[in-house]
Amino acid sequence: MRSIISLTALTLGAGAVSAPALAQYATPPASYAPVAPATVGAAPLCHANVSKEARKALVDLQIAVIAKDAANIPARVAAAQALAKTPDDKCFIGLMQQQAAVDRGDLKGLSAAIEAQLGSGVVPSTRIAMLYENLGRMQFNARAYSDAAATFERALQIAPTAASAVVMLAETRVKQNRVADALPLYKKAIALESAAGRKADQNWYKRSVSAAYDAKSPLAFGLARDWIAAYPSAQNWRDAIRIHAALSGLDNAGLIDMYRLARINRALAGEADYGRYAQVALAKGFAGEAKAMLEEGFAANAIDRNSAVFKPLYAEATTKAAGDRAALGGQAKTAQAGTAVKPLMALGEAYFGYGDYAQAATMFRAAQAKTGVDAELANLRLGMALAASGDKPGAKAALDLVTGSRAEIARYWLAYLAARP
């Protein structure tokens, strides 16, 4: 008899396959695959102390489950429950209920089976929590979002630090149009992974940003910065900057500061980025910056210098930039000797566009000493110049002083500093 009662750990699904790759930000996977529950060593679960009184009823139940005899399984479960004496008796009944429910695709039956295993007291809580998480994934895939949310919450009652369950609860809240509840859950899941010494999956960051962006939540800015801090690739920088620009409605002054950040991170790509950047730079009077940036695009084969858009744009930038760089030195001396702030700020931007970050910083510091300076803007631009030059402490000190409408731009530059070695 003993040899008949032998089970390996069961999973709640047809196969332990990986979930599909997340689409770029906006679309979650079509389904979430269950993952294998934790097992207790290599030994089968819960039949070391099966009682003599219940043994025959347990064997009869197992035979019915193996045969997928759905008509007789409920009666045999009831018979086994009536005779169950030991915790292992109850655990084994729960395992049989679980297998029968898997065979039938019965999600409610799975829930009852997991509760039975939990009630036995012999199944490790980590395994119970994973079983609940898998059940929640199946409910999620079935679009039973209310049930899935309750199941993920049950899993977290048992294992509060299970980051994967937290992120699945976040996904469920998004499906329930409860984005305000979902966003803190994504952050919590990422924090739990960090606390455990692991790096959170990049898809968790992407999904949090996607949910916030779709909801037009101001939390998107901070979530995007968290993402690029963890995964500072050029593509991620580009997307985070585009998300910021789209949600914040930046004017040209703010837009060019973000484009400059993208340029430093080599995060410009394609005609849309290069064309817009060039147009904004020219509109602000920085032809040299527009020319240099377009030449970088040509060199990278990112844009066609002979296209109907970029050929005239480059010609205009080249014409307006002629002699501009050489004239900056004399203009700087005059501006520093004067009392006006605007020329110094413009010269600082011009030097920045040419990549002379030390001189740019000099101009911005000179502007700070003048009456009537916009301290927020001057600190932002000074912080940018120092960041680009490699002066991390100086840049951070300046950027930390930026508040008000430019604070979000400053925070992106601070994220750039944090990502640098």
Tens digit of each residue's pLDDT (9 = 90 or more) over 347-392:
999 999 999 999 999 999 999 999 999 999 999 999 999 999 999 9
| Token representation of residue 102 | 């898997």
| 214-218 LR contacts (CB < 8 Å, sep 24+) | 214/26, 214/179, 215/179, 215/180, 216/247, 217/179, 217/180, 217/183, 218/247
Question: pLDDT value at position 18?
Answer: 24
What average pLDDT is seen over the chain?
86
Does residue 202 or residue 421 have the better pLDDT? 202
The single residue listed with the structure tokens 């089976």 is 113
Helix (H, G, I), strand (E, B) or coil at 339: coil
Question: pLDDT value at position 420?
Answer: 83
The model's confidence at residue 47, banded by pLDDT at 50, 70 and 90, is low
Question: pLDDT value at position 17?
Answer: 22
pLDDT-above-90 percentage for the chain: 61
Closest C-alpha among 104, 118, 103, 110 to residue 135:
110
- 263-277 burial, b at 16+ Cβ within 10 Å, e below that, comes to bbbebbbeeebbbeb
Question: pLDDT value at position 103?
Answer: 86
Alpha carbon of 394 to those of 26, 239, 344, 404, 415: distances in Å? 37, 27, 20, 20, 15
Question: pLDDT value at position 174?
Answer: 96
Question: What is the CB-side half-sphere exposure of residue 4 using CA atoms within 13 A?
Answer: 14
Question: pLDDT value at position 409?
Answer: 93
Least confident range from 7-11, 155-159, 394-398: namely: 7-11
Question: pLDDT value at position 399?
Answer: 97
The model's confidence at residue 51, banded by pLDDT at 50, 70 and 90, is confident
CB 205 within 8 A of CB 167: no
The model's confidence at residue 46, banded by pLDDT at 50, 70 and 90, is low
| Alpha-carbon gap, residue 27 to 12, rounded angstroms | 25
Question: What is the full DSSP assignment across 272-283?
Answer: HHHHHHHHHHHH
pLDDT one-digit tens code per residue, 169-183: 999 999 999 999 999
For residue 314, pLDDT over 90 is answered with yes
Question: pLDDT value at position 106?
Answer: 85
Per DSSP, helices labelled H in 15-106 are: 52-66, 73-83, 87-104
Question: pLDDT value at position 48?
Answer: 61
Question: pLDDT value at position 340?
Answer: 95
Helix (H, G, I), strand (E, B) or coil at 346: helix
Looking at residue 100, its amino acid is A
The model's confidence at residue 275, banded by pLDDT at 50, 70 and 90, is confident
Phi and psi at 131, nearest 5°, equal: -60, -40
CB 229 within 8 A of CB 415: yes
Least confident range from 21-30, 31-40, 112-121, 124-133: namely: 21-30
pLDDT one-digit tens code per residue, 77-105: 999 999 998 888 888 888 899 889 888 88
DSSP letter for 18, please. P
Question: pLDDT value at position 126?
Answer: 86
Question: pLDDT value at position 11?
Answer: 29
In the chain, the N- to C-terminal Cα span, in Å, equals 65
Question: What is the full DSSP assignment across 194-211?
Answer: HHTT-PPPHHHHHHHHHH
CB 317 within 8 A of CB 284: no
Select, from the ranges 48-57, 92-101, 190-199, the one with the highest average predicted confidence (pLDDT).
Answer: 190-199
| Alpha-carbon gap, residue 188 to 167, rounded angstroms | 8
Length reported for the chain: 421
Q: Rounded to the nearest 10 degrees, what angle do helices 375-389 and 357-368 cross at?
A: 160
> What residues have CB less than 8 Å from 71, skipping those under 6 apart?
none
Q: Rounded to the nearest 10 degrees, what angle do helices 179-195 and 163-175 cross at?
A: 170
Map out the domains of the chain with their CATH numbers: 236-419 (1.25.40)
